[in-house]
Amino acid sequence: MFTGIVTSIGEVRSVKPRADNLHRITIACDYPRADIDRGASIACSGVCLTVVDTGEEGGRTWFAVDAAAETLRVTTVGRWRTGSRINLERALKFGEELGGHLMAGHVDGIATVVGREDMTEMARFVLRAPRELARFIATKGSVALDGVSLTVNAVEGDTFSVLVIPHTLRVTTFGALHKGEDVNLEVDTMARYAARLAEMK
């Protein structure tokens, strides 16, 4: 499980296609190598991926993950290239502060930025969600966008907006996010269960 509080920005060092439409992706990060175990889960721009190897190069830690065909299809992982910057979060440990909202790292789909407004104290992003996921997004509810826990500001049809404070713009990839770009979307698990219960009535 994750909380949507980004703790490092990683940089893709290499993407190597392997058998069965599997991609081996190497990511440089600021985490100490000793803190990353093989088999650990790391949310990479919201996608829970398993560490298969680690190392150090040029004074930085790197870790490698394998992305399978379904992950490449449903998320933006298949578009990552050398130099791509991604939000990172290590898995939540019991007893740690829950600063965002509980997330599984199981991306539901891709949302597209249709507008960005930079204001004095924050930035407002307007995004379009896939129609089948829009019903799970509600005003004042939670969403995860590229692994960042955010509160929904407003909803209109299949579009919704979020407000991002300067700190989040600075410590995540959102500072460089612009209109027309896609982000990984994970809807709130509670919203999904509530919708399912409503369907059963």
Q: Which residues are catalytic?
A: 2, 41, 48, 50, 68, 106, 151
C-beta of residue 13 within 8 angstroms of C-beta of residue 176: no
Nearest to 160 by CA among 145, 174, 175: 145
CA angle, residues 6, 191, 113, in degrees to nearest 5: 55
C-beta of residue 44 within 8 angstroms of C-beta of residue 23: no
Residue in the block written with tokens 């150090």: 56
What is the sign of the dihedral through the CA atoms of 26, 168, 183 and 136? positive
Q: Is 68 helix (H, G, I), strand (E, B) or coil?
A: coil
CA angle, residues 14, 63, 55, in degrees to nearest 5: 100
DSSP 103: B
Question: What totals of helices (H) and strands (E) does the chain contain, helices first?
Answer: 4, 12
Q: Is 1 helix (H, G, I), strand (E, B) or coil?
A: coil
